[in-house]
Structure 1
Amino acid sequence: MRIAVLGATGTAGSAIVSEALDRGHHLTALARRPAPARPGVRLTVRAVDAADPAALGPALADVDAAVLTIRLAPGDESRLAPLTRTFLDVAQRHGTRVLVVGGAAPLRSPDRPGRLLIDDPVRVPAAWREVARASLAQFHACHEHSYGDWVYLSPPAILEPGDRSGRYRRGTDTLLVDDDGTSRITAPDLAIAVVDELEMPGPDRHFTIAAAV
């Protein structure tokens, strides 16, 4: 499979690139300041501005699927939804399947059934409200877009470096937690879930994951 990853130098993006390469896929790693390509692998590296559809077009034209996994600097959160719309615009023109690694805010709270995570002050304290609002706006941007070939992955509350266990839990619209209430996964295990979804798409437009227990 030919896969493009926008945000390929980030914690999630770099893990997704590594996992997909290890499974034999051909990767196009996209970032504003990309890392040098490793020699001898099925990897193309391109410098791309996520806000520039003219630059995104050639990068998404010849791939089977594209992963959007970008995080913006504090103060720039409001740009996330427009950048996502631009990405979907370009993907639609080329018929490219999209997987968005977004945020947890669109999920339901495991402690307060019927309430979104963003409205649970215990799970989303004030310091994280702007980030949460941005991810919810991104989720709505996907739903409101005319292109239908996308899926949105809401990671758990904590995405951290760590080992590849090879296992994870998958859910739909409610935050997954451990017995102690923690919601977490390592970047390598998140990457497994992403590539699994690309290789064998599940039935859900919106899904979440967490570390296996």
Structure 2
Amino acid sequence: MRIAVFGATGMVGSATVAEALSRSHSVLALSRRPGAEPDRPGCESRAVDIADHAAVKAVLAEVDAAVLAIRLPPGEESAVAGLTRGVLDAAERSGTRVLIVGGSAPLRSPGDPGRLLIDDPEHVPEAWRAVAAASLAQYRVCRRHAFTGWTYLSPPAVLEPGARTGVYRRGTTTLLTDAHGRSRITAPDLAIAVVNELEHPGEDRHFTVAAG
């Protein structure tokens, strides 16, 4: 499979590139800075501005699937919804599947299924609300878009660097926690879930994962 990874130099993007290459997929590693992701066997690095609709459309036309794993600088988070809409517009024309690694805000609170996680201060403190609001807006863009070839992956409350354990739990639209109420996963383990979903798409348009 040929996979485009937007945001290939970020924590999730770079882990996804590594995981896909380890399974012998062909990867197009995309970032804003030319040469930021070095070429490796099976991996081509390319500079692409995700706001350039023509460039995104051209990329999607040459791959089997795409992963959108972009993270914007502080203060610019709200732009992610519009950028995601542009990617879905391009994907609709090419028919390319898109997996969006978004945020946990659209999930339901494990303690109150009627409450979105963004409104649960136990898991989304005030300092995280701007990022959470951006991910909720991003998810709503996906839900409203005419293109149906997208999947939205909500990470747990804490997504962090760390080791690849090879184990994770999968859920649907409610935040997963462990016996101590913690909700976390490392980027390499999240990347396993990303590539698994590309290889064997599930029925859920929105799902979540957590450490095993």
TM-score by length of 1: 0.97
1:58-137 matches, cutoff 5 A: 58-137=58-137
* Code of the aligned partner of 1:77: E
1:37 aligned onto 2:38: yes
Once the two structures are superposed, what CA deviation does each residue of 1:135-169 show, in whole Å capped at 9, x if it has no partner? 00000000111100000000011111111111100
How many residues align structurally?
Answer: 211
Match of 2:169, SS state, is strand
Once the two structures are superposed, what CA deviation does each residue of 1:101-158 show, in whole Å capped at 9, x if it has no partner? 0000000001222111011122111111111110000000001111000000000111
Once the two structures are superposed, what CA deviation does each residue of 1:83-117 show, in whole Å capped at 9, x if it has no partner? 00001111111110000000000000012221110
Percentage of pairs with the same residue: 66
* Code of the aligned partner of 2:203: P
- Structure 1 segments, 4+ long, off by >6 Å, are none
Rounded Cα–Cα distance in structure 1 between residues aligned with 2:37 and 2:138:
30
Rounded Cα–Cα distance in structure 1 between residues aligned with 2:83 and 2:18:
24
Q: Unaligned stretches of 5+ in structure 2?
A: none
Match of 1:12 in 2: 12
TM-score by length of 2: 0.97
Q: Unaligned stretches of 5+ in structure 1?
A: none
Match of 1:188 in 2: 188
Rounded Cα–Cα distance in structure 2 between residues aligned with 1:174 and 1:57:
33
Match of 2:204 in 1: 204
| Cα RMSD after superposing both structures | 0.9
